[in-house]
Amino acid sequence: MTAAGTAAPAVRCRALTKHYPSKTGLVHAVNGLDLEILGGECFGLLGPNGAGKTTTIEILEGLLAPTSGDVEVLGRQWGRHDDDLRQRLGISLQETRFQDKLSVLEVLTLFRSFYRRGLEPSDVAALVGLSEKASAWVGRLSGGQRQRLAVACALVGDPDLLFLDEPTTGLDPQSRRQLWEIIRAFGRKGRTILLTTHYMDEAERLCNRVAIVDRGRVIALGSPADLITSMGGAHVIEFACASGTAIEPAALAALPSVRDVVAGAGDTALTVSEPHVAVPALLGLLQAHHVELLRLTTRHVSLEDVFMHLTGRHLRDEDVSPA
C-alpha cells in the first residue's frame, strides 16, 4: 500500500492513560498505551469488550481528554489545532443514530456542509452503495444501510485519516463484506485507517498491522501474519479422545513439527508447522496407546489463537466489564 508521501506517522501516542472514577474506585480504561500508525496503513485495534479500544480511539479523535500521555495526530495536537484536525479526520462512532426523518442525501449534505472541501453527497452515497436509498428516510434503513451511512458521513469530508469504531458489529455477513469493500477502497487511495474490532477475521482481512489491546495496554503488535507466525506454527490440530483415555502432553510435544500443546477439558489443541507430517504421527501415537479418537480437525491459526496464547482468555469473553 502506498504511503501517500507521508513519512511521519499519522498517529502517535505515548504513555496514554485514561482513568475514570467509578463506584468501585478508579477504572484504568487506558493504562499506558503506546501506538504509532503509519501514513497509508490500515491499522486495527483488536481486543475484547472493555479492553480500552473505544476510549483510546475517542482520545485520538479529540472527543475525550486523556488523563496523561502525549497524542499527536497528523503531526498536530488536540487543543491547539482542533479545527485543522477536524477538517482532515473522518469519524464513525460506535453508535450514532441520525435523524430518522431526514433522507440519506439530506444527512450527507448536512455533514458535507461542515467541511471546507470534500466530496459531493451524491457521490458518497454511490460510494457506499446507497444511491438507490438516497431519498429514503434514515428511519427506513436497515442496520447495514445505517452503518454504511455512518461511514459515508465519515467519508464526505474526504479525510486523510479515517477512524472507525467497530464498524461491523451486529451486522449480517453480507453487510460486513460490503463495508469491508468500502474500507478497502478508501485504503487503496493511500489514506490512513484506524479501526477497532473484536472480530478476528475482520482484522486479518483488512489490516496491515494490528495491535492487540488488553486491559488498556498493547500486548502484541504486528501484521496479522507476523502475529500468527509468532505462535510458531501456521496450523492448529484439534482433537478429542474417548473418555478415560489420554495421552501425556509431553508425548504430544515430542511429535514432529508440533510447536505448542494446549490441553483443554475435552479437546486438545496442537500448534503445528506442517500438518501433513504431524497428523500421521499423531494418529500413530493414538493407535499405539489404544486410544479411541472421537474427533479431529485442522485449521489455520487465527488471531483468536494469538490472543488466547497471550492472555489465556477468549477475545469474545463477555465477562469483562466495559470501560
Q: Is 148 an interacting residue with respect to other proteins (CB under 8 A)?
A: no
Q: Is 43 an interacting residue with respect to other proteins (CB under 8 A)?
A: no
Q: What residues have CB less than 8 Å from 41, skipping those under 6 apart? A: 1, 3, 10, 192, 193, 208, 209
Euclidean distance between the first and final Cα of the chain, in Å?
A: 34
In the complex, least distance from residue 39 CB atom to other proteins, rounded to whole angstroms: 21
Nearer to other proteins, 83 or 319 (CB): 83
In the complex, least distance from residue 113 CB atom to other proteins, rounded to whole angstroms: 4
The total number of residues shown for the chain amounts to 323
Q: Is 61 an interacting residue with respect to other proteins (CB under 8 A)?
A: yes
Q: Is 99 an interacting residue with respect to other proteins (CB under 8 A)?
A: yes
In the complex, least distance from residue 69 CB atom to other proteins, rounded to whole angstroms: 20
Beta strand residue intervals within the chain, DSSP E: 9-22, 25-38, 42-46, 68-73, 89-92, 161-165, 192-197, 209-214, 217-222, 235-241, 258-263, 267-272, 293-300
- Please state at what angle helix 104-112 crosses helix 143-155, rounded to 10 degrees: 20
Q: Is 316 an interacting residue with respect to other proteins (CB under 8 A)?
A: no
Q: Select the residue interacting with other proteins from 10, 89, 261, 323 (CB under 8 A).
A: 89
- Binding mask 106-145 toward other proteins (x if CB under 8 A, else -) reads x--xxxxxxxx---x----------------x--------
Q: What residues have CB less than 8 Å from 284, skipping those under 6 apart? A: none
Grouping H, G, I as helix, E, B as strand and the rest as coil, residue 323 is coil
Across-strand partners of 71? 13
Q: Select the residue interacting with other proteins from 6, 67, 96, 169 (CB under 8 A).
A: 96
Interface positions with other proteins (CB under 8 A): 61-63, 83, 86-87, 89, 91, 93, 95-99, 101-102, 106, 109-116, 120, 137, 153, 157
